Amino acid sequence: MTFSSAPPLSGHVTVPGDKSISHRSLMLSALAVGESRVEGLLEGEDVLATAAAMRAMGADIRRDGNGVWHINGVGVGGLLQPQTALDMGNSGTSTRLLMGLVASHGITATFIGDASLSKRPMARVTEPLSRMGASFMTSPGDRLPLTMRGACPAVPLDYRLPVASAQVKSAVLLAGLNAPGITRILEPIPTRDHSERMLKGFGADLSVEIEADGTRIITLTGEAELRPQAITVPGDPSSAAFPIVAALITPGSEITVANVGMNPTRAGLFEILSAMGADLSFSNRREVGGEPVADITARYSRLTGIDVPPDVAPSMIDEFPVFFVAASFAQGTTRTSGLDELRVKESDRLALMAGGLAQIGARVAEVEDGLVIEGSGGAPLPGGKSPPVIAASLDHRIAMSFAVAGLATTGGLTVDDMRPVATSFPGFTALLQTLGAIP
């Protein structure tokens, strides 16, 4: 699909439900006894893969005509043996969190995925889950396809996270739900805390203490009994990032994205953009289902390059691709570091963003753990008379980031494949049309 110079963007829109919360809503509801109701669930391919996997392990999951999802759970410890391989599609979150669930149940499950997911390493999850008693047969490089056998009873774990990863943390906590005794996680660098919030909401005995140096100590008592819940999923801040950055770099634009999740462990992008001079305002602040929510208004802004502190990375890790686009239009230099995690996402996001931005005329240097970008000072990037073709490499966030970049080029660009966007943001191009970006 080709994206080219856009008129000023305007409008009031919403984005799909938060992907992280949607995954966890299905999983925890499937472990509760009784019926949970979930409104606003992200109905992208990644979340639907989670729903299919939980059905395969015994949960009764259905969507009614009003878009509300009803989940009747099997109880902690009640997961059933799946009869076929669990196809995770492109979803690394589904894979790693479901491995945590299976780890403390006496069942065997095989996980498969698409070409992109099958390249992603799983050792960071298999290592702690092995210490809890699970066993694994993996493809070379600790990748999918893999078969795991859970342990029942599993061994509770005292674990210090070696990397800042909400997926690893969540996998260990989910395994700890059905392990007798106390599972304790030490988290030196805070990551998104949806799992902790939702586990408490479902009735798990979980506490969080913060040490003087900022380390979070998360303690979970196993053999939990979870209670069904009514959940409203807020809009995904990672999805909201795309129209917001589009407005910031397209002259004359002013848009509002309503009902965006503002969890502090996810709001790093908005803080960094504000530090660069972005005209962002937050209204109608409220709490929905234990999560802070707000409406965000973004207006075209003259951004200034900054050095992004490495410790902010966990709170905006999924937003860095579109952040690099914003930095390409700033005045001066933006430097990022500590982003090794971006090399093992759906793609090597550092390499793809550096290469693609260079193709459309941005001045960018790739370093080992980040990018250094010399911005255009607000001027549009050239793009190309014969629009350059950007290879998204089956990565939804790369595809959407360059769609946004194309709106502020003089010559436009073409994204080679927009289909992966359906994994997280069905209706993305329709939203751009609503804002006036696409004729």
Q: Which of 114, 193, 295, 318 is catalytic?
A: 318
Give dist(CA 289, CA 22) in Å, integer: 12
Which distant-in-sequence residues (6+ apart) come within 8 Å of 217 by Cβ?
A: 184, 185, 186, 187, 208, 209, 210, 211
Provide the residue count of the chain: 439
SS (H, E, C) 389-431: EECCCCCHHHHHHHHHHHCCECCCEEECCCHHHHHCCCCHHHH
* 264 and 315 Cβ atoms separated by less than 8 Å: yes
CA distances from 51 to 87, 99, 105 (A): 11, 14, 18
Which secondary-structure segment (H or E) carries 221? strand 216-221
Q: How far is CA 266 from CA 20, 296, 319, 417, in A?
A: 10, 14, 10, 28
Residue 64 designated active-site: no
Structure tokens at 78: 């009640």
- What are the catalytic residues? 318
